[in-house]
Amino acid sequence: MAPLTGLSLFLVAVGAIASPLQKRAIDGLNTRAVAAGKAYFGSATDNGELTDTAYAAGLNNTADFGQITPGNSMKWDSIEPSRGVFSYAKGDVIANLAKANGQKLRCHTLVWHSQLPSWVSNGNFDNATLIEIMTNHITNEVSHFKGQCYHWDVVNEALNEDGTFRESVFYKTVGPAYIPLAFAAAAAADPAAKLYYNDYNIESAGLKSTGAQNIVKLVQQYGAHIDGVGMQAHFIVGSTPSQAAQEANMKAFVDLGMEVAITELDIRATTPISDADVAKQVVDYGNTVRACKAVERCVGVTIWDWTDKYSWIPSVFSGQGSALPWDGDLKKKDAVYSAILSAWDSGTAPTTTPTRTSTAIATPTTTTVTKSPGCTATAAPKGTAMLWGQCGGMGWAGPTVCVCGATCKKYNDWYSQCV
């Protein structure tokens, strides 16, 4: 080996100094998740947001985000707006961005009751025709993105809050068999992709989680392929299931041979958020990430966009928001970010919760709260809505009385929830 020259010695010295700084620079939510044995920490995004250069720079930071989910550009109304006419331009933009960054792509979603073009939802097709339409849609879309999708959300939100099947056009026309048929079509089009069922309010034990477990069994009984279950985790500050509850629930799916993922995480609060709610939010985020870390087959966590600037929540839940680790000015919320970062390293909850220096006071909510009549500690009358379940809203035909201990809170004309 040749002796080191003066220049070589200088470069070695600079490298020794720079190395710790470089390691610090590449630390982030995804870096910690991968170090904890997970496949990724990621974010949803949407096409319109990518024209915001500051936003795009944050999304492209692979230290924080090792995975991207397209929020809308792979849904049926975007991909096949007219029968047999497929448009992949928007989906390709996000798929190509993930590829360029070396990020994994969670493809979302093939079969969902919402964001369907009217030709599907109002087509009045018979059983055989709708199966043909659904299979053709899945085959075309999965084939187009073949080899690019780490996961596919094959079927999305097929359940009511009590664990029964949602009366979508697919269920009403085909029956529950549409679910295994969808999985079979996806598996045939891309055998290498991991195939997921995805839903909300299945993050802790209850009727809806049991219903999701029954969907896994249904697909397996039909001999179709299913790899995992996505838990959306759209939570409310202070009402997020505990780490233990989330762990136990994940393990129930793992026991069926599934891997699991947290797919759409955000934790909303009344805005402007109070110091007390920030402290709760820190605990809630930490508990959720630690639950995934603790369950070996929980493969990763995705937040539903990374900044409040582009959160879906304020447009749906009036007076609610501040749900993500970055604020509307793209500034990192140090307490929340640090809670997620440290949760990948720790196995237990912190003994104290951080507080903010801000003196902002939460605006009192003006939403309507209806208490459950005739509530007893031991009774859950038939026809009651479960905790976190929908209990009202325009066109809602389900139960309007909550299970004992919960109240029906109106967020807007379209949605009330048992909290």
Active-site residue, 259 included: no
Query: What is the bridge-based pairing of β-strands 369-371 and 320-321?
Result: unpaired
**Span between the terminal Cα atoms of the chain, in Å:** 70
Rounded Cα distance between 51 and 32, Å, is 28
Question: CA nearest 94: which of 35, 19, 149?
Answer: 149
Q: From the CA atom positions of the chain, what is the Rg in Å? A: 23
Residues forming a β-bridge with 277 = none
Are residues 195 and 226 in contact, defined by beta-carbon separation less than 8 angstroms?
yes
Rounded Cα distance between 78 and 44, Å, is 16
The active-site residue, picked from 157, 161, 264, 296, is 264
Are residues 287 and 246 in contact, defined by beta-carbon separation less than 8 angstroms?
yes
Q: DSSP letter string over 172-210? A: HHH-TTHHHHHHHHHHHH-TTSEEEEEESS-SSSSHHHH
**Residue at 221: amino acid letter:** Q
Q: Would you please indicate which residues are annotated as catalytic (active-site) residues?
A: 264
